[in-house]
Copies of this chain bind each other. A is one copy, B any other.
C-alpha cells in the first residue's frame, strides 16, 4: 500500500509557513500501518497541480491532498482535480445549503465566491467539514483513492480522523498478512534526550521494538514503536514496554499521548479536591493561560495575579514594600511572599509563583538574564527554588511555567520537588 501526501499553496513554497499537515497525516496513516512514501508540495498553479496529481495517481494507492479548497481565486484544487482526470464540475446542493447555514450561524450572508466551495468533480464523494466552509472530497481514479482536505490544520485534522481514516480502514479490512505496528507516546520533563537514550538503552534493544526520541521544548517525548504478528501481540508488547519505561523513569514521565502538563495537574487537583491560584511576574500570564486552556478549569483554578510592576506586587499580593526594596523583585523573599499572597488573596489551597529575568534586557552581574525563582505554598510550607535557564525570552518563560506546574503535580503526588538540570547552586 503506497501512500502519498500532496499539499498545495503558494505560502508553503514561499516558506511563509512551516507545513505541519504532512507530519500529522503521515502519523495518522502510520496508525493504520500505512507508510507514506512521498511528500510533495506545489504552488497554486494549475499546471504544477495537474502534474502532481497525475504522478500521484500513477505511483500511489492512497493520495491525501490538502489546501486550495478556499473561496478565493487562488484556491484551485478542485478545478485541477476535475481537469486532471477529465471530470466535469457539479454543484453539490447539500454542501451549498451547509455553507449558507454556516454563515447564517454567524449572522452573515454567504459571499458569492463561497458558492464555489460546493462544486466537486463528477463522481466524487463529498466529505463534510463541520467546522469550516470548505468540504473535502474523495475521488477514486483507476484504483487510487484521492482524498482532498482543507489546509487549515484543525479542519484537516478533524476531517482526517472522522472521514478519511474510517474510509481507508474499510478498504484495508480485506488485506491480510501485514505486520501490525503499534506506537505510544510518553511525555517526560526534567531529563535530557541523551540521558533518556542512555537510561533506556536496554529496552530499546529488544527485538521488534524501536524507541524514538523527540524534543518538544521544554519536554522530551519518547515514542516506543513495536511490531507484532497480530494486533493483540503488538498491543501486549507495547503495554509491557511502556510499563518498563515508566518504572525506570518514575515521575519524570508526566503523561502520555496528547495529555498536557496542565491537564495532568488539573486532573490531580480535581481528584484531590484542591484549589489553585498563581502569582506571575516573568511568566506574565502564561501559567494562568495554560491552566485555563483546560475545559472545566474553574472547578479548581481560582485565579492569578500578573504583577509585572512592584506596585502591583504590593497592591494585589501584599508583598511588603520593604523586601522589594531590600532584595529586589527577583529574589527568594519576594517569590515566597507572592506565593503566600496568592494563596491568601484567592483563598486557595495551593499557590505557585514566578519571578525572574526573561531577557533580553534587565540582567546584572548578580542577577543575570535567565535567573528565575519559583515559589510554592500549600499552607503548611512555603518554599522557593532558584533556577538558571540560559534560554531566549520565550523559552525561558515556557521552562519556568513548566517547572511551576510540575511542582504542583509532584506536590500532589507526594514526590520530591523537582528533577531538574537547571537548578542553580545556592550562592
Docked-complex contact B30 and A37, CB < 8 angstroms: no
Docked-complex contact B316 and A308, CB < 8 angstroms: no
Docked-complex contact A70 and B394, CB < 8 angstroms: no
**A345 nearest CB neighbor, chain B only:** B315
Q: Do A19 and B23 contact each other (CB < 8 Å), given the known contacts A71-B194, A195-B111, A293-B393?
A: yes
Q: Is A237 an interface residue (CB 8 A)?
A: no
Task: Pick the interface stretch among A90-98, A212-220, A244-252, A402-410.
Answer: A212-220
Bound: A30/B280 CA distance, A: 41
**A329 nearest CB neighbor, chain B only:** B298
Q: Which of B71, B215, B312, B347 contacts A197 (CB 8 A)?
A: B71
Residues of B within 8 A of A42 (CB): 37-39
Bound: A346/B313 CA distance, A: 10
Q: Is A190 an interface residue (CB 8 A)?
A: no
Q: Is A302 an interface residue (CB 8 A)?
A: yes
Docked-complex contact A39 and B13, CB < 8 angstroms: yes
Q: Do A284 and B295 contact each other (CB < 8 Å), given the known contacts A113-B198, A315-B345, A422-B106?
A: no
Q: Which of B16, B45, B193 contacts A72 (CB 8 A)?
A: B193
Q: Is A185 an interface residue (CB 8 A)?
A: yes
Bound: A50/B307 CA distance, A: 54
Residues of B within 8 A of A108 (CB): 192, 421
Residues of B within 8 A of A26 (CB): 12-15
Bound: A41/B280 CA distance, A: 42
Docked-complex contact A15 and B35, CB < 8 angstroms: no
Docked-complex contact A106 and B284, CB < 8 angstroms: no
Q: Do A38 and B41 contact each other (CB < 8 Å), given the known contacts A16-B223, A20-B18?
A: yes
Residues of B within 8 A of A421 (CB): 106-108
Q: Which of A283-341 contact B (CB under 8 A)?
A: 283-293, 295-298, 301-309, 311-312, 315-316
Residues of B within 8 A of A63 (CB): none
Docked-complex contact B312 and A302, CB < 8 angstroms: yes
**A294 nearest CB neighbor, chain B only:** B393
Q: Is A73 an interface residue (CB 8 A)?
A: yes
Bound: A422/B105 CA distance, A: 11
Residues of B within 8 A of A36 (CB): 13-15
Q: Is A359 an interface residue (CB 8 A)?
A: yes
Q: Is A417 an interface residue (CB 8 A)?
A: no
Residues of B within 8 A of A113 (CB): 194, 197-198
How far apart are A154's CB and chain B's nearest CB, in angstroms? 8
Q: Is A173 an interface residue (CB 8 A)?
A: no
Bound: A210/B10 CA distance, A: 11
Docked-complex contact A315 and B346, CB < 8 angstroms: yes
**A102 nearest CB neighbor, chain B only:** B390
Binding site for B on A (CB under 8 A): 7, 10-20, 22-30, 35-43, 45, 48, 70-74, 105-108, 111, 113-114, 131, 152, 154, 183, 185, 192-195, 197-198, 204, 210, 212-215, 223, 277-278, 280, 283-293, 295-298, 301-309, 311-312, 315-316, 345-347, 359-362, 390, 392-394, 397, 421-422, 425
